[in-house]
Amino acid sequence: MDNENFEVLGDSFLKLMVSMSLYYRYPLASPGLLTAKKIKQISNENLYRLAVQKQLKIYLNVKKIVFRGKDANWLPPGYKINETELTTGQQYSHQNAKRKAFSDMIEAFIGAFLISTNYMTTIKFMDWLGLDVMPNNAQDSLVEPPSILRSNIATNNNIQINEIMKTFFVDRVFAEIETKIQYVFKNKAYLIAAFTHPSNYANRITDCYERLEFLGDALLDFLVTRHVFVNYNQNVTPGKVTDIRQDLSNNGRLAYILVACDLHKKILHNSTDLFSQISSYAGDEDLFPKDQSTDEYLSKDLDQWADSTAPKALADVFEALVGAIFLDAGNCLETVWRVVEPLLRKYIDKGGDTQMAVCIVQMPNGSLFEGRGVNKKLAKANACRQAMKQQQHNENIFQQTG
């Protein structure tokens, strides 16, 4: 593995730990605010600042090491530069690097720690750097997971709340979801919240899925990245990992899986527009022939997995379900992967061997967004989707600060 591979792995773990810390630390914060804080933490500017603060800049090598000849730049241990020969000496003592190279180095450090040690040691290293990855309280112990119940729900009557939750769970036949994913929730509130759209008013107990989606997105990204590194270690390239990560972030991929598992019918919402969109997408017999099973759906060509007409809410619910399983399982990554890996297996196996088209879209302000897909059309749609997502995020931030 080289610097780039470590960087890709470190980047995904950094995003996961920052997302998890923010989720715990700010129990009432909206997904938009959490995203804004996350972007600030993982930005190149912040990582560069930490590299300078911890005096790590000297460890970056941007030049290819040359041992002999006029271009030699390697200095054996114990040797010093003759300060009178400044012109010659600079090739041994100076190198030019952009700030992003130092932020990439920090991510590579995180990836290297993850490969050579364990999760806890890596988290401690990140904490030493100054990253917000350990949401501790005043007693320096990990804070309790935030409640999934609505903030206006009194928690002093757990018996009544549990009875309401149990009735709601049974009435909506949510046990079918557990059967489908082969995971039984200890706290049913997590599952109910994961399938509650912001428009729903029948569920007056739990929050909607938005905060769980924020956490689930980072979880899925890291778990897929880790899987690729573990299973394709001999042939893995940063480009292959990036292709799979970005392509999986396509709403169509996750939406397709949710409908293939027949879980879209469980979403709680009160939006006529969303109902129409889901009905149209799930009722497309070219995508979902009525005589096929879930396994047959998931064996289709990748092109059909990335249909651009898929409602975003379907992918949001899938990511929220990932976040819900993680919290219910006591922050156990292995449990989450055991549940979602069978649903993603055929896609990842195919996606790793598929050549991806790349499209770059430039916004009027000069911002660039890269999209990837199995063909040019899907790559362009993916790039535009990312640009629109960022534009929507900027508008949300403006409204919150306005």
Chunked mean pLDDT (size 10), the chain, 402 residues: 84 96 94 95 96 90 77 77 63 78 94 94 95 81 85 73 88 94 95 96 92 96 89 69 72 89 96 94 87 86 63 95 97 96 81 67 80 73 74 63 54
Judge whether 139 lies within some domain.
no
Q: Rounded distance, CA 146 to CA 35, Å?
A: 17
Q: Are 298 and 347 in contact (CB under 8 A)?
A: yes
Structure-block tokens of residue 344:
């993603």
Close Cβ partners of 79 (under 8 Å, ≥ 6 residues apart): none
Query: Does residue 236 lie in a domain region?
Result: yes
Q: Is residue 390 part of a domain?
A: no
Sign of CA dihedral 150, 153, 156, 161: negative
- State the Cα–Cα distance between residues 352 and 244, nearest whole angstrom: 7
220 and 304 assigned to the same domain: yes
Task: State the Cα–Cα distance between residues 322 and 220, nearest whole angstrom.
Answer: 7
Backbone angles phi, psi at 91, to 5 degrees: -70, -15
Shared domain for 226 and 297, answered yes or no, is yes
**Token reading at 258:** 């949710």
- Looking at the fold, whether 200 and 324 belong to one and the same domain comes out as yes
Residue with tokens 């780039």: 4
Report the C-alpha gap between 120 and 276 in whole angstroms. 46
Verify that 121 and 172 share a domain, yes or no: no
Dist. CA 356–CA 378, nearest whole Å: 10
Are 181 and 167 in contact by the 8 Å Cβ rule? The answer is no
pLDDT for residue 285: 86
Same structural domain for residues 300 and 169?
yes
Task: Tell whether 360 is covered by a domain.
Answer: no
Q: Are residues 213 and 331 in the same domain?
A: yes
Domain boundary among 329, 354, 379: 354
Whether the Cβ atoms of residue 336 and residue 217 lie closer than 8 Å to each other: no
- The predicted model scores a pTM of 0.82
Q: Are residues 109 and 250 in the same domain?
A: no
CA angle 213, 345, 214 (to 5 degrees): 10
pLDDT at 89: 63
In three-state secondary structure terms, 371 is strand
Same-domain pairing of 180 and 295: yes
Number of domains in the chain: 2
Q: Is 91 domain-assigned? A: no
What local confidence, expressed as pLDDT, does residue 211 receive?
97
pLDDT of residue 163: 87
Whether residue 238 sits in one domain with residue 115 = no
**Structural domain for 49, as ranges:** 3-62+97-129
Which residues contact residue 28 at a Cβ distance below 8 angstroms, ignoring those fewer than 6 apart? 151
376 inside domain: no
Quick one: 102 and 220 in the same domain?
no
CB-neighbour burial class of residue 372 (10 A; exposed 0-12, middle 13-18, buried 19+): buried
For residues 245 and 334, membership in a common domain is answered with: yes
What pLDDT score was predicted for residue 144?
Answer: 83
Residue 283 lies in a domain: yes
Q: Among residues 337, 354, 371, which one ends one of the domains?
A: 354
Expressed in angstroms, the distance from the first to the final Cα of the chain is 46
124 plus 208 within the same structural domain = no
Q: Is residue 173 part of a domain?
A: yes
Specify whether the CB–CB gap between 70 and 88 falls below 8 A.
Answer: no
CATH of the domain at 123: 1.10.1520.10
Domain boundary (83, 108, 129) is at 129
